[in-house]
Copies of this chain bind each other. A is one copy, B any other.
Amino acid sequence: MPKQGDHRERRDSIARALWTIVEQQGWVRATMREVAREAGVSLGQVQHYFSSRAEMLTFAIEFAAEQTSRRVAQGVAALDQPPHPREVLRVILTEFLPLQPGARATSQMNAAYVLEALHDPALRQQVADGLREGRAGVERLIRAAINDGQISPNRDPAIETDQILALTGFAPLLELGVLAPQAALAAIDQHLDRLFSDT
């Protein structure tokens, strides 16, 4: 039996096993039984931590969101301080898109989660709240940049925020290899250049 202190670690390792399955075999294969096999534990142990597949998926997506936030925070900490808002937005977009290994499973899980959420009111609320929070963060950043004269006051902060969010639409194109990572980065850089140069 695991010690009480191992609880969080065990849950995290189950979440990682789930990611591996999502990345290698796809979302529909991510059953509790498959996750137990991948994590090297019994089905009963998975059920000890999660009472249902939905609960396991919810935890895994929250864990993925935490990982993404941590990668964004690390990326921002690595910038010249204080960081320029253009570079902060670039870090957010590049960490959200499947441009690097860690982001690929996260990106697929987000897409799968959105689909699942459309038909599950509780999940839907959770996903929508998370997206609204992310959107609000980007809008605060853009409003601050307008106040600081880094973005033209003629720009509408809400519309600019939505156009930044639209760039996450590259995710499926990148995953399917229809768009090369450098093409996505070029489009992102040009969008940001225009946003910040038109002052």
Contact with B along A36-65 (1 / 0, CB 8 A): 000000000000000000000000000000
A166:B170 contact, CB within 8 angstroms? yes
Q: Which of A158-197 contact B (CB under 8 A)?
A: 158-159, 162-163, 165-173, 175-179, 183-184, 186-187, 190-191, 194
Which chain B residues border A25 with CB–CB below 8 Å? 119
A108 at the interface (CB under 8 A from B): yes
Contact of A178 among B132, B178, B190 (CB under 8 A): B132
Of B117, B124, B166, B179, the residue contacting A167 (CB under 8 A) is B166
For this complex, into which size category does the number of interface residues on chain A fall? 35 or more
A191 to B27, alpha carbons, bound, how many Å? 34
Q: Does A122 contact B (CB under 8 A)?
A: no
- Please tell me if A73 contacts chain B, counting CB pairs below 8 Å: no
The answer on a CB contact under 8 Å between B162 and A184 is yes
**Given A26-B118, A114-B111, A119-B26, A191-B163 contact (CB < 8 Å):** yes
Give 20 A-B pairs besides A132-B178, A156-B190, A167-B169 with Cβ atoms closer than 8 angstroms: A28-B28, A28-B116, A108-B115, A111-B111, A111-B115, A111-B172, A117-B176, A128-B176, A131-B176, A135-B178, A159-B190, A162-B183, A162-B184, A162-B186, A162-B187, A165-B170, A165-B173, A166-B166, A166-B187, A169-B169
